[in-house]
Amino acid sequence: MISLARNFARDLARSFGRGGRPLRIGYGRIFHEACAASPIATTEADFHRMHHLEGAALAEAAGLRGTELKSFFPHAELTGFTQAARVAGGVEAVPLSSSMAVPSGPLTRQCFEWLLDRLLTNLREAGRLDGVYLALHGSMEVHDLGEAPEAVILRRVREVIGPEVKLAASFDLHGNMTPAIVDALDVLVAYRTNPHWDLAPTGFRAGTRLIRLLRAHVRPTHAWRKLPLVLGGGTTINFVAPMRGVFTRMRAMERDPRVLTTSLFMVHPFTSSTELGWSVHVTTDGDEALAARLVDELADLAWKAAKTPIPQLFDIDSAIRRVETSTWRKLGPVTLVDTDDIVGAGAPGGSTQILKALIERRSTLTALVPIHDPSLFSRLADVPLGTTLDVVVAGTPGYDQPPVSLRARVTARSDSELGARVLLRVGNLHVAISKDPPLPIHPRYWKELGVVVRKADLMVQKNFFHYRIFHVAVSFEHVPVASRGATNLQRVRDLPTRVPSRPRVELADWREGDRMLRA
């Protein structure tokens, strides 16, 4: 009878928190991807503009009936987490603060202090917690901070919660892992998809693992490796070779009940960290040898897959020549992917290089070119449609782009969720001057300006992949172009990292670099 009561008490403790009361787990987010070469500093206003919620408002947004990230993802990591808590039962999910801004230049110190203050204040006011879950990126950057912001966030959170409370975090798979980040965590998971659509499942996985740890169902044992590797893997899309093989193997590993998590990080290469590198991470249930064996296997697989070089880039003139001779443009515009000015990776979208080349060539192609130029945008704000005037397109202030002089007609303007913009026309050339960094990933971007994308010969995109989903029946040839901007891959190749890394240095093995990077 006594042992029965003892068993019952143990089961109760396992299904609830310590001492039979529900578990209390705080959850929040600080999320930003930085591009060190962007001249636009990220400030508090950028987070307010995109996403900042606290307390009850956050709880509502992160519920199944809420909208977590407006006009982006209705359900993201924190909704996934609250669902894990609901499914587990006996867990109170306690909202802290959640902040996200579009990828851009590094954060100002003031902005970072504000983000920390909001998170830590909510954490102090949350009362006693058993665990904390945070959705982080892993490639943030803060002006003059001197270390990874995520490491600072985790350290400051630990100072508030003390050594006993368990800490879990999820990351974008473009995160740059460091010992200070990995060692601070009891549970670590990452996105599995690139482009990313598995935000909610990632939060759910973090939540279930954290709850199982708190109920003493599992004993997470970590192993990780950091590869001296900055670029590679072709287009690094998870469902296309060569990376598909690696992700398939990771899922197979996780079918073993002893394996709790596997993660692969293909690093975002545009921060100014000198410790850049891909990494792999494995958690097992108390089996150190298994974790070490699997993480080495994963490191070998990723190292080999990354030998696939990134696609060949064209210079602007050869790219335009290619459009001129392309037969595909009879069916829809050939896309020039401006790989130097990728807005989704934090570039400002104010490169004038392709526009300049089209003007100098006196091109007769029907071309669609989006350019971020807030000064010109405000100058054109009150100009009546139909007016012809002389303008200078200079791009993003401080971006050091060549100014392009045009005699153009103002033909349309639009202010929608796709951004505020004015359309200039010079012959067959359509230039959308935008107030904010442009993301014309949907044909609606041009349609709202009265332009039919299908009828164009050439379209400029500031995005690696997402636009293809919306242009699958519109654009049939895609030409990656190197110009001179914030997401220049040649600059990444030449970047002096602390540890010799691929592709700048050809290395036979990752082990030496791993030792140095994790030291």
Nearer to Zn ion, 172 or 275 (CB): 172
Q: What is the rounded distance in angstroms from the CA atom of residue 421 to the CA atom of residue 372?
A: 9
Q: CB count, 10 Å around CB of 183?
A: 12
Judged by CB under 5 A, which of 46, 172, 275, 373 binds Zn ion? 172
DSSP string, 14-44: HHSSGGGSPEEEEEEEEE--B-TT-S--B-H
Return the range that interacts with Zn ion (CB under 5 A); candidates 51-59, 165-173, 401-409, 456-464: 165-173
**Least distance from C-beta 103 to Zn ion, angstroms?**
9
Return the range that interacts with Zn ion (CB under 5 A); candidates 170-178, 280-288, 326-334, 366-374: 170-178
Q: What is the rounded distance in angstroms from the CA atom of residue 69 to the CA atom of residue 72?
A: 6
By residue count, the chain amounts to: 519
Nearer to Zn ion, 83 or 202 (CB): 202
**Least distance from C-beta 86 to Zn ion, angstroms?**
27
Nearer to Zn ion, 161 or 345 (CB): 345
Nearer to Zn ion, 265 or 314 (CB): 265
Q: What is the rounded distance in angstroms from the CA atom of residue 510 to the CA atom of residue 277?
A: 11
What's the token pair of residue 88? Answer: 């587990």
174 lines the binding site for Zn ion (CB under 5 A): yes
Return the range that interacts with Zn ion (CB under 5 A); candidates 64-72, 101-109, 172-180, 402-410: 172-180
Nearer to Zn ion, 67 or 193 (CB): 193
Nearer to Zn ion, 172 or 373 (CB): 172
Nearer to Zn ion, 226 or 322 (CB): 226
Q: What is the rounded distance in angstroms from the CA atom of residue 67 to the CA atom of residue 87?
A: 20
Return the range that interacts with Zn ion (CB under 5 A); candidates 21-29, 50-58, 168-176, 455-463: 168-176
**Least distance from C-beta 418 to Zn ion, angstroms?**
21
Three-state DSSP at 93 gives strand
Residues 6 or more apart whose CB falls under 8 angstroms from that of 195 comprise: 237, 465, 466
Q: What is the rounded distance in angstroms from the CA atom of residue 504 to the CA atom of residue 380?
A: 45
**Least distance from C-beta 372 to Zn ion, angstroms?**
21
Q: Are 229 and 211 in contact (CB under 8 A)?
A: no
Nearer to Zn ion, 178 or 236 (CB): 236
198 lines the binding site for Zn ion (CB under 5 A): no
Q: CB count, 10 Å around CB of 241?
A: 12
Can you point out the beta strands (E) in 214-331?
220-227, 259-265, 278-285
**Least distance from C-beta 313 to Zn ion, angstroms?**
21
Nearer to Zn ion, 238 or 353 (CB): 238
Binding mask 371-400 for Zn ion (x = CB under 5 A): ------------------------------
Residue 166: name the closest of 127, 214, 200 by CA: 214
Return the range that interacts with Zn ion (CB under 5 A); candidates 15-23, 64-72, 173-181, 311-319: 173-181
The helix (run of H) or strand (run of E) holding residue 494 is helix 489-494
**Least distance from C-beta 139 to Zn ion, angstroms?**
8
Three-state DSSP at 431 gives strand
What's the token pair of residue 477? Answer: 């040839």
**Least distance from C-beta 173 to Zn ion, angstroms?**
6
Return the range that interacts with Zn ion (CB under 5 A); candidates 65-73, 167-175, 241-249, 259-267: 167-175
Three-state DSSP at 339 gives coil
Q: What is the rounded distance in angstroms from the CA atom of residue 102 to the CA atom of residue 42?
A: 9
Paired sense of beta strands 458-461 and 334-338, if any:
parallel
Return the range that interacts with Zn ion (CB under 5 A); candidates 72-80, 164-172, 284-292, 396-404: 164-172
**Least distance from C-beta 46 to Zn ion, angstroms?**
18
Residue 299: name the closest of 177, 409, 207 by CA: 177
Site residue total, Zn ion (CB under 5 A): 2
**Least distance from C-beta 503 to Zn ion, angstroms?**
20
Binding mask 305-334 for Zn ion (x = CB under 5 A): ------------------------------
Nearer to Zn ion, 174 or 413 (CB): 174
Q: Give residue 40's identity as a one-letter amino acid code.
A: I
Residue 430: name the closest of 442, 416, 447, 417 by CA: 447
Q: For tokens 């060692």, name the residue.
A: 183
**Least distance from C-beta 172 to Zn ion, angstroms?**
4
Nearer to Zn ion, 77 or 172 (CB): 172
**Least distance from C-beta 195 to Zn ion, angstroms?**
8
Supply the Cα-derived Rg of the chain in whole angstroms: 25
130 lines the binding site for Zn ion (CB under 5 A): no
Nearer to Zn ion, 141 or 172 (CB): 172
Three-state DSSP at 419 gives strand
Nearer to Zn ion, 174 or 222 (CB): 174
Residue nearest Zn ion, Cβ-based: 174
Residue 353: name the closest of 391, 400, 309 by CA: 400
DSSP string, 212-225: HHHTTS--EEEEEE
Q: Are 311 and 234 in contact (CB under 8 A)?
A: yes
Residues 6 or more apart whose CB falls under 8 angstroms from that of 146 comprise: none
Return the range that interacts with Zn ion (CB under 5 A); candidates 174-182, 199-207, 343-351, 502-510: 174-182
Q: What is the contact surface with Zn ion in residues (CB under 5 A)?
A: 172, 174
